[in-house]
Structure 1
Amino acid sequence: MDLRLDAVTVAVDGHLLVRDLSLTVDRGQTVGLVGPNGSGKSTALRCVYRALRPSRGVVCVGGDDLATVPPRRSARSIAALTQDGGSDLDFTVAEVVALGRTPHLRGNRPLSGRERELCEQAMARLDIAHLADRGVLSLSGGERQRVLVARALVQEPEILVLDEPTNHLDIRHQIELLSLLKGVSLTVLVVLHDLNLAAATCDRIGVLSGGRLVAAGTPAEVLTADLVWNVFGVAATVVTHPLTGDPQLLYSLAPPHTT
C-alpha cells in the first residue's frame, strides 16, 4: 500500500507547523524525514496516523483519502511508533505486544493460536522474548522501545510510521532495528535525527525546514555538504561508506570550504 501526502498544511493556534507538504512513499519503500528540531517532522507523521487532521491538503493511503477511511480499517493498515507511545500501566511485555492485535479483534475474543505465535515471533525478532513476563515499567528505555516496535509488527500493518525509533537504543539495537525495517517489505515513513542512519536505511529522504519540504530524493542526492550547512548550520564532509557505498557525513562546526 502506498502513502501520499498532497499539499498537507497544519496550522495550530495560528502557527503554521507544516506548509504545503507533498511527499510520496511507494509500496514497500522506506522514506525518511529529517530536519532540525521544530521543522514539522512529527507533525507530519501525526497526520498519517490520524492524531491530527490537516488544515489543508490530504493524506492518501492506497489511493483513498485517509479522512474517509473508517478508523478501524485504518488502524489495521497503519501502525505507529510515536515519541510518547509508552504506558503508565504496568502490563507485562507479552500483554503490551499482544495489544497490537486489538484492531483485528471483536469484543473480548482471545488471541488465536496463530496470533500468539505472531507475538512470540515478534518478541524473538526484537530480542525481548526473555522479557515476556516482565512489567514494562521495570524496563530500560531501550527495552521499552523494542517492545513497542514488536507491538507495531504484530499489528500486521501495510504502512509503518515511526517517530525517532532509535531513541534510547544502543548501537547494536539501532543497527538491528534499522536492518529489520529494510527487510519487512512494508511501506515505511520514519523520522530520524541521525543523518548517517537515515542514509543507511532509507530509499529516499525528505528534508524539512521551517515546515516546508526543501529537498527530496535518494540519500546521495539529498545529503550534500551545502544542504547540511544551509539546513542544519553544520559543516559536513560527505564520504562513501567502504562496505555499503552509502553516503556518510563527517561533521565540524567550521563553515564549509574554509581552512
Structure 2
Amino acid sequence: MDLRLDGLTVTIDGAELVRDLSLDVADGAVVGLIGPNGSGKSTTLRCVYRALRPSGGTVHVGGDDLATLSRRDGARRVAALTQQGGSDLDFTVAEVVALGRAPHQRGNEPLTARERRLCEDAMRRLDLLHLAGRGVLSLSGGERQRVLVARALVQEPRVLVLDEPTNHLDVRHQLELLGLLRGAGLTVLVVLHDLNLAAAVCDRIGVLDGGRLVAVGAPADVLSEALVRDVFGVAATVVAHPLTGAPQLLYTVTATTPEGPPT
C-alpha cells in the first residue's frame, strides 16, 4: 500500500515547522527521512500517524485521504513507533506486544489462536521470547524499543512509520531491526540520524532542512559531500561500501572551543 504526502504544511504558534512537503513512498519501499535537529522530520511523521493535524496538505494511504478514515481503520493501515512510545505501567512484554491487536478487536475479547501465534512470532523475530513474562519497566532501553517494534508488527499494518527506531539498540540489534524492515514487505517511512544506516537500508532518502524537502532520491544520488556539508555543517568523505556498494560517510572530527566554532 503506497503512502503519499501532498503539500504537507504544519504551522504551530506562528512557526512553520514543515513547509509544502510532497513525498511518495511506493508500496513495499523503505524511505528514510534525514536532516538536522529541528528540520521537521518527527513533525512530518506525526501527521502520518495522526498525532498532529497538518495546517495544509494531505496524507494519502492506499489512495485514501487518511483524514477521512476512522481511527480504527487508520490504525489497521498505519502503525507507528514513536520517540515517546513508552509506558509507566508495568505490563509484561507479552501483554504489550498483544496490544498491537487492539485495532482488530472488539471490546475485551481474548486473542484467537492465530493472534497468539502472531505475537509469538513477532517476539521471536525481535529476540524477545525469553523476556515474554518480564515487566517492561525492568527492561533496558534497547529491549523496550524492540518490544514496541514487535507490537507494531503484530498490528499487521500496511504502512509502518518509525521515528529513530535504532535509539538505544546495540549494533547487532540495529542491523537485525533494519534487516527486518527490509524484508517485512511493508511500506516504511523511517527517521534515522545515522546516515550510514540510512544509506544501507533505504531505497530512497528525503533530506529535510528548515522544514523543507531539499533533496530526495537514491542514497547514492543524495548523500554527496556537498549536501552533508551544506545541510549538516560537517565535513565528510563519501566512499562505497566494499561489499554492498552503498555510500558510506567518513566524517572529519574537528576540535571545538566553548567560545566559538571549530578550529
Q: TM-score range by the shorter chain?
A: over 0.9
Shift of 1:213: 0.3
- The TM-score with structure 2 as length reference comes to 0.96
Equivalent position of 1:199 in the other structure: 199
Report the Cα offset of residue 71 of structure 1.
1.0
| Alpha-carbon distance in 1 for matches of 2:77, 2:91 | 25
Alignment deviations for residues 138-159 of structure 1 (CA, whole Å, 9 cap, x no partner)? 0000000000000000000000
Q: Which residue of 2 aligns with 1:29?
A: 29
Alpha-carbon shift at residue 107 of structure 1 (Å)? 1.1
Shift of 1:45: 0.1
Q: CA deviation at 1:70?
A: 1.2
Question: SS at 1:220's partner residue?
Answer: helix
Counterpart code for 2:241 = H
Distance 1:139 1:253 in 2: 34
Q: Distance in 2 between matches of 1:12 and 1:133?
A: 42
Which residue is equivalent to 2:135? 135
Q: Distance in 1 between matches of 2:59 and 2:129?
A: 36
**Matched AA of 2:208:** L
After superposition, give the CA deviation of every residue in 1:142-183 in whole Å (9 maximum; x if it has no partner).
000000000000000000000000000000000000000000
Unpaired segments ≥5 residues, structure 1: 255-259
Aligned pair count? 254
CA-to-partner distance for each residue in 1:99-156, whole Å, 9 max, x for gaps? Answer: 0000000011100000000000000000010000000000000000000000000000
Matched, 1:115 2:133: no
SS of corresponding position for 1:245: coil
Q: What does 1:220-235 correspond to in 2, within 5 Å?
A: 220-235=220-235
Task: Tell me what 1:81 maps to.
Answer: 81
Corresponding position: 1:238 with 2:223 = no
Q: Deviations over 1:230-254 (max 9, x none)?
A: 0000011000001111000000146
Aligned to 1:214: 214
Mapped pair 1:250 → 2:239: no
Find the aligned partners of 2:12 and 2:121 in 1 and give their Cα distance.
41
SS in 2 for 1:216: strand
**Match runs of 1:59-208 below 5 Å:** 59-208=59-208
Matched residues in 1 for 2:113 and 2:127: separation? 21
User: Secondary structure of the residue that 1:50 maps to in structure 2?
Assistant: coil
- The one-letter code of the counterpart of 2:195 is L
Give, as a single letter, the amino acid of the residue that structure 1 aligns with 2:35. Answer: G
| Displacement after TM superposition at 1:31 (Å) | 0.2
Instruction: Render the CA deviation track for 1:165-209: whole Å, top value 9, x for unaligned.
Output: 000000000000000000000000000000000000000000000
CA distance in 2, matches of 1:209, 1:38: 8
Q: Which amino acid aligns with 1:45?
A: L
Normalised by the size of structure 1, how large is the TM-score?
A: 0.97
Q: Secondary structure at the match of 2:199?
A: helix
Instruction: Give how far 1:63 is off.
Output: 0.8
Once residues 178 and 44 of structure 1 are traced to their aligned partners in structure 2, the CA distance between those partners, rounded to angstroms, is: 21
Whole-Å Cα distance in 1 between the matches of residues 158 and 144 of structure 2? 23
1:18 equivalenced with 2:18 (yes/no): yes
Letter in 2 for 1:171: V
| Cα distance in structure 2, aligned partners of 1:14 and 1:241 | 44
Task: Give distance in 1, aligned partners of 2:253 and 2:39.
Answer: 21
Runs of 4+ more than 3 Å apart: none
